[in-house]
Amino acid sequence: MRKTAALAAAAALLLTSACSASATSVAASSHASCETTTTLGKISGAARDGLCVFRGIPYAAPPTGDRRFRPPQPVASWRGKTLQATNDKAVCPQDRDGLSEDYPDDRPVYTDEDCLYLNVWTPRPDQRKRPVIVFVHGGAARFGTANEPRYDGSQLATRGDAVVVSLNYRLGMLGWTELGDLDPAYRGSGNNGLRDQIAALTWVRDHVADFGGDPANITAVGESAGAFSLSAMLATAHPERLFRRVVLQSGSGALVQSAAYKRRMAATLPVKSIDELRSMPVARLLEMQEKTIETASPGVLGALHFGPYVDGTLVRGPVTERVAAGNARRVDILLGTTQDEMNFFGQLGPDAMRAIAAQYQDVFFPRELAARREQMTSVYRRGRSPLDASLAMFTDQGMRVPALRLAEAQSRWRPTYVYEFGWRPPSGFGAVHTIELPFMFGTFRFNGILGGAEGFAADRARLTTLSDQMLDAWTTFARTGTPNRRRSKASSRPYWPAYRAPQRATMMWNTSSTIANDPRGNERALWNGYSFPPFDLP
């Protein structure tokens, strides 16, 4: 990979981070104890570590042939047969990203469009009505899969007595390119990846009771591009119909795109008709996609080329505006960021760090704040090098401050909880983007986090405790709407107050987790008056 392409791929992981049904065959069940019956037909999973695990359940029709670039369609039933749900290799089309994604096999490129599958971990497929946790993966809406080993739901299901679901959705051009200007019949195609996720959440609502889950108590959890997607759903009509609670990890509405930006990105494609795209082999389409991104969206922009957008129909307006007006008033929200999001790019070396800092100063800093730029920069440089100050400003503009704005907007309607993850590997580049995932899942797989595995091995006991605390908080929130157990003494972590101005209580996750009121509030306040509109660039 050329250096610019590598940088773009790494940037894609900032917003993190064979889609074939061949392994999901219809046959007789060999795991009677891990079998359930849905209105679609019987499904057989596998017993593992005290759980029943179902891998590769189709939630929508294959988006192939005439369905390419179309909204997801209902899946056909298999009544009278048993679906063997053991396919743990589904990956939606993408060039393999070797920097951070934790793929289930070693294929260099994934080209099977038949990839709309989900996975379920459950203590038992009974009638217990357990809380349901649905995870939406990140990867710049361009990389990643629900079948990454780091996203294994076993610990969440076991420790929380919960039903855990992970899902695939269409990536890159196939899921996020707005083609309405090429053909009005395809208007809205730029949110098809979001529609896939909504279809999966609808499937969960309709069928999770058959796996021992409570369809009235669904918590959607998204990281990076997954969090951007879930935040976009907060601006749809009645998001409470999709989930009762939501967890947004390193992502909020500020990077949901504007319609103008989405259309400009689509205009960079070197095609003149829908027919060209519909007939193009997947491998060729991926090649064109990567060349287009390298030219039109270099560096960090490559991480923002794809994703949900405010189309006025599905996503009805800017996320924080809609939330402040009460659009999500029936949804509980927990959200946060890592302390050094943009330091993720340190894995490419000092030159990459400087390139990202320069791109921030030249491209991303808001023109509306030009008159305050010198003052803001001087504050961020207190105790930091110029490079670190730029990266800290980028983290705050892109991730931390928009998340706090969203939390403050929702706090008018419901108790809302904010965290910051601050553990730094001794030999790494800080608390970088995606670093919380090995702890939140309890898998301790540190892909794309330099020094992470070594740091964990050197401090295993304390970091295992940190993971246990996060698992407890996430599953307790999913069960009750608060991360605190009723008896706070039952947990080794401090009581986590709801986020409200002016205290702005924040859980600071680390080996000694604490509550801080308005951490780095002087820097947060520098952004007052800036609205963080849908993502766009001049």
Catalytic residues: 224, 341, 433
Across 337-365, b (16+ Cβ under 10 Å) vs e yields: bbbbbbbbbbbbeeebbebbbebbeeebb
Dihedral pair phi/psi, residue 355, rounded to 5°: -65, -40
Task: Give, for 114, the enclosing helix (H) or strand (E).
Answer: none
Nearest-angstrom CA–CA distance, 445 and 449 = 9
Q: DSSP readout, 203-255?
A: HHHHHGGGGTEEEEEEEEEEETHHHHHHHHHTTSS-GGGT-SEEEEES--GGG
Nearest-angstrom CA–CA distance, 324 and 240 = 15
Half-sphere exposure of 290 (CA within 13 A, CB side): 20
Side chain identity at 233, as an amino acid letter?
M
Q: What is the DSSP letter of 182?
A: T
Nearest-angstrom CA–CA distance, 2 and 19 = 27
Beta-strand pair 130-136/109-110: unpaired
CB 163 within 8 A of CB 157: yes
Longest dimension (CA), the chain: 69
Grouping H, G, I as helix, E, B as strand and the rest as coil, residue 55 is strand
Interacting residues of 142 by C-beta distance below 8 A, sequence separation 6+: 12, 94, 171, 172, 225, 305, 306
Dihedral pair phi/psi, residue 481, rounded to 5°: 90, 0
Tokens representing residue 446 in the block = 């540190």
Nearest-angstrom CA–CA distance, 217 and 393 = 37
Q: DSSP readout, 366-432?
A: -GGGGGGHHHHHHHHTTTS-HHHHHHHHHHIIIIIHHHHHHHHHHHTTS-EEEEEE----TTSSSS-
